Amino acid sequence: MEKALMLFSGGQDSTTCLAWALDRYAQVETVGFDYGQRHRVELDCRAPVRAALAARWPGRLGADHLIDLRPGMAALGETAMTAEVAISMGAEGLPNTFVPGRNLLFLTYAAALAYRRGVRRIVAGMCETDFSGYPDCRDDTVKAMQVALNLGMQRRYVLETPLMWLDKAATWAMADSLGVLEIIVRDTHTCYLGERGVLHAWGYGCGTCPACELRAAGFERFQEAR
Ligand SMILES: [Zn+2]
């Protein structure tokens, strides 16, 4: 049994991965990033989610770290993920919710933190199956980052992405098998618009943004397959 550091946003995917890591490792620390995301409400979900998961796996959840990237990300310019502009598809086939370099920055900060905390395993929720076309979620990107971080920090980090080849229905099934389905529905946040007014069967959200559509459709397929 080892220690792990989890990139934990408070959303569905990273919460499912955190449960996966808690089930597997003796001690799991979490790191979150404030980058001025419109759905900053997801950061508020981190504490209740951590409390619920700590009760499910007593003694395993370690320290939480929140890194403020707001000034740096703001200096790099606005995207639909960080500003009040309509979500649309850009010229290069990427939605304007794409924040260039976001996951590369997150992994670099996480590895630097892991260095200081003496942790070898870094767990993250990237997924290339039904993602929005974000190139920094791809398996090749994560594997290349593992090589770069190990060379640059002279470490043997293992970057683990348990959701990489799962679709959203399978992610829901994983949460169910780990006994955290209720926690995912009630406590996590996915909606890009930060909507938390109505609790649907699949959780809170506007129901119409790309993130809500993916989450709701995945839940429906998971329910059908049950
Ligand atoms: Zn939404």
Beta pairing class for 121-123 and 3-7: parallel
The Cα–Cα gap between 35 and 70 comes to 4
What was the pLDDT predicted at 210? 86
Integer Cα distance of 49 and 64 in angstroms: 12
Helix H segments across 10-69?
Answer: 12-24, 41-56
Please give the distance, rounded to the nearest whole angstrom, from the Cα atom of residue 45 to the centre of ligand 1: 15
Structure tokens at 47: 């504490």
User: 206 alpha carbon to ligand 1 midpoint, in Å?
Assistant: 4
For ligand 1, the distance from its centroid to the CA atom of residue 7, given in whole angstroms, is: 22
Tell me how far the alpha carbon of residue 191 lies from the centroid of ligand 1, in angstroms.
4
DSSP secondary structure code for residue 185 in this structure: H
Q: What's the gap in Å between 211 CA and the centre of ligand 1?
A: 6
Long-range CB contacts (< 8 A, 24+ apart) of 191-196?
A: 191/39, 192/38, 192/39, 192/80, 192/81, 192/87, 192/97, 193/38, 193/39, 194/38, 194/39, 194/40, 194/41, 194/42, 196/41
Can you give the pTM of this predicted structure? 0.91
User: Given this model, what pLDDT does residue 196 score?
Assistant: 87
Output the CA 183–ligand 1 centroid distance in Å: 19
Per-residue tokens: 82: 């960080």
Q: How far is the CA of 195 from the centre of ligand 1 (A)?
A: 6
Residue 165's φ and ψ, nearest 5 degrees, are -110, 15
Give all strands (DSSP E) within 73-130, no chain letters: 121-123
Backbone CA torsion sign across 163, 154, 22, 102:
negative
CA 121 – ligand 1 centroid, Å: 32
pLDDT, tens digit (0-9, with 9 covering 90-100), for 72-106: 888 877 766 666 667 777 767 777 677 788 899 99
- What are the per-10-residue average pLDDT scores of the chain (226 residues)? 93 96 98 86 92 97 96 77 69 72 94 97 91 83 98 98 95 98 94 89 93 94 93
Q: Which residues lie below 8 Å from residue 216, measured CB to CB, with a gap of 6+?
A: 200, 202, 205, 207
In the chain, what are the domains?
3-189 (3.40.50.620)
pLDDT at 206: 94
pLDDT of amino acid 21: 98
CA of 177 to the centre of ligand 1 (A): 26
35 CA distance to ligand 1 middle (Å)? 19
Q: What whole-number distance in Å separates Cα of residue 130 and Cα of residue 84? A: 25
Measure 174 CA to ligand 1 centroid, in angstroms: 22
- 96 CA to middle of ligand 1, Å? 15
pLDDT at 158: 98
